[in-house]
Structure 1
């Protein structure tokens, strides 16, 4: 089973934290749709199109800048070329694009999950992030989405902003929960180099929130959302039972996915199931519109590299990762040095290890990246991989 990701690179303006590929040239949207359909057609009668596609995710950028008719053209092309048996069809949107007619159009197209970038209901924080919507527009969009008939949708929250207090974050959380969303993706703000925030940091005009304060924010988010009845099923994701994101779970489980559009990533196991390839479509809209769909990057991944990646992805989820899976699928054995570390982290309350299943606790999730890095680096080069 596989998934398809379609990258729509258009945005109204640049959010201060975003390092995804995007452009603000909205006059190119029709040309982009035609180029995308051409790229889709290139996959006809290939082993990519033969595999059953269970999820489609249209992200960006801002996919909700495309009209329903443009989205319909794209989806019809996907239907013609690929073998679809969809469990989930997701489209990302911004609050300022949400209108009842647009939501009805998405449902008629077959979209059954929306992902909306609210980020905050605090007007000052929205301005700091340079979001295109206001707090009032976010409230209206939440009301419309809740009344739309979509059973599953997710809204994004960003915490850990410079100068953001726990009281401010708590107010935001209460505002989100007042709408009773089935899923919330909560991300800690990261300052990426090639962004507005990155430049502010380099120039000494921005002081990120300390690690200690960010950990306090994480605790408040996790405790508040789990107490509301949501499962904390991945470091940044919370869902009511049965409302987890299917497409994203496929990423974490190392299942095949094909990326379409400029700047989209793909991952595909080779036929031997011992190696895989990951590639990035060149993030260049001009070349893409000219029919140049070449890859900017491509890497062949060996089994031990895939094992380390699966270990990392698995530990970020509530399901954890079993050493049995690592051994049988990836030929990776946890050695004594790693077992000693696991035992130490178990004693400190950051990790559990029961019948071969490794899982991080809430305390462990706060420092997940550090634990995962330690665990991977402890394996000796001459130990079985």
Structure 2
């Protein structure tokens, strides 16, 4: 089963931490949506033959800015050109875009899951991040979505905001878990160079939280979600047993997917590729009937390392038998010294032929994976 990702590169405001590809100008929106539809048609043979589309994900940017007609156009184009058996259609939304009329429109277009970018329930934090919504909208959006008929919800929360203690983060978590969305994606505040925060750090006008402070908030997150019955099925994703994100799980387990729109990435099961991160360049090329997709050919070693990196982040871990049967790599023999060290450190264990990160190891996931790379 495969998925389709659609990158909608428009936002009302530029969040101070965000380095995703987006524009705050909507001048090209209507034509760009039309060209995304054209790309869907041009690339309908990208995925391996026989793959059925089971998930669609509208990401961005802010896809909740799209109109009903724009969403319907994209959904209709997918249905007309791809074999579909949909189990999940997710749309990323900002709280300030959600009202009764808009939510009804989303449902009518076939959207059945919302991923809501709340980030915090504190006005001072939202203002600092330059988010377009306020704390009241953060609180109201879950109830609005449920009343409209959405049964599948996820919220984004961000930890690591520099503070004297963890009181604010603990309050955010209590509020989120009281709302009980069923799924929470939570990421540390990261300073990227080409962002406002990156500029402030360079100038010395902003001091990010220490690594130890951020790690403590991650552990608080683990404790709180576990106590509320959420499962940490991926490093940054926590869900009730029946609420894991299907589309993203397919990413982590190596399923193929098609990405359309500026900056979107794709994976055909063997190689990866990406579109140009430029709205006008994307539109100009599609007008001329050209694709702006570059292929990144992966060799066997690349694919093995990537599989280790992504699978190790999940609750299911790295399937050692899969590596041996698919790539003739016996990781236990090849990395015996490293695995012995990681095991004695209490970071990993082998369970039913799968290499699994311990709770302690989840703090060091990328470092652990790097030790196992070929």
The correspondence of residues 194-343 of structure 1 with structure 2, limited to 5 A, is 194-269=194-269, 276-292=270-286, 294-295=291-292, 297-334=294-331, 336=333, 338-343=335-340
* Residue 102 of structure 1: how far off its partner (Å): 1.3
1:60 aligns with 2:54: no
| Equivalent position SS for 1:79 | helix
Task: Please identify runs of 4+ aligned residues in structure 1 that moved more than 3 A.
Answer: 44-50, 291-297
- Please say which of residues 281-290 and 324-333 is displaced more in the overlay: 324-333
> 2: distance between equivalents of 1:231 and 1:93?
23
1:350–1:362 Cα contact (<8 Å) kept: yes
2:185–2:236 Cα contact (<8 Å) kept: yes
Q: Which runs of 5+ in 2 are unaligned?
A: none
- Please say which of residues 140-149 and 109-118 is displaced more in the overlay: 140-149
| Equivalent position SS for 1:90 | strand
| Equivalent position SS for 1:238 | strand
> 1: distance between equivalents of 2:45 and 2:215?
49
> 1: distance between equivalents of 2:197 and 2:179?
30
| Equivalent position SS for 1:283 | coil
Q: Which runs of 5+ in 1 are unaligned?
A: 270-275, 380-385
TM-score by length of 2: 0.95
Please give the per-residue CA displacement for 1:307-347, whole angstroms capped at 9, x wherever unaligned.
Answer: 11101111111111121111112332215462232223222
> 2: distance between equivalents of 1:324 and 1:55?
27
Q: Which residue of 1 aligns with 2:106?
A: 106
2:332–2:339 Cα contact (<8 Å) kept: no
1:11 aligns with 2:27: no
> 2: distance between equivalents of 1:167 and 1:330?
48
| CA distance 1:44–1:340, shift in 2 (3 Å) | closer
Count of aligned pairs between the two proteins: 371
* Residue 108 of structure 1: how far off its partner (Å): 1.8
> 1: distance between equivalents of 2:138 and 2:148?
15
| CA distance 1:281–1:355, shift in 2 (3 Å) | same
1:304–1:331 Cα contact (<8 Å) kept: no
The correspondence of residues 328-367 of structure 1 with structure 2, limited to 5 A, is 328-334=325-331, 336=333, 338-367=335-364
User: How large is the Cα RMSD of the aligned pairs?
Assistant: 1.7
> 2: distance between equivalents of 1:370 and 1:57?
29
Please give the per-residue CA displacement for 1:326-382, whole angstroms capped at 9, x wherever unaligned.
Answer: 111233221546223222322232211134211001110011111111222xx5xxx
Q: Which residue of 2 aligns with 1:36?
A: 36
> 2: distance between equivalents of 1:312 and 1:296?
24
Q: Which residue of 2 aligns with 1:383?
A: none
> 2: distance between equivalents of 1:321 and 1:215?
24
* Residue 114 of structure 1: how far off its partner (Å): 0.6
Please give the per-residue CA displacement for 1:268-308, whole angstroms capped at 9, x wherever unaligned.
Answer: 12xxxxxx221110011112222345446431001221111
Q: Which residue of 1 aligns with 2:126?
A: 126
Q: 2:372 aligns with which of 362, 370, 375?
A: 375
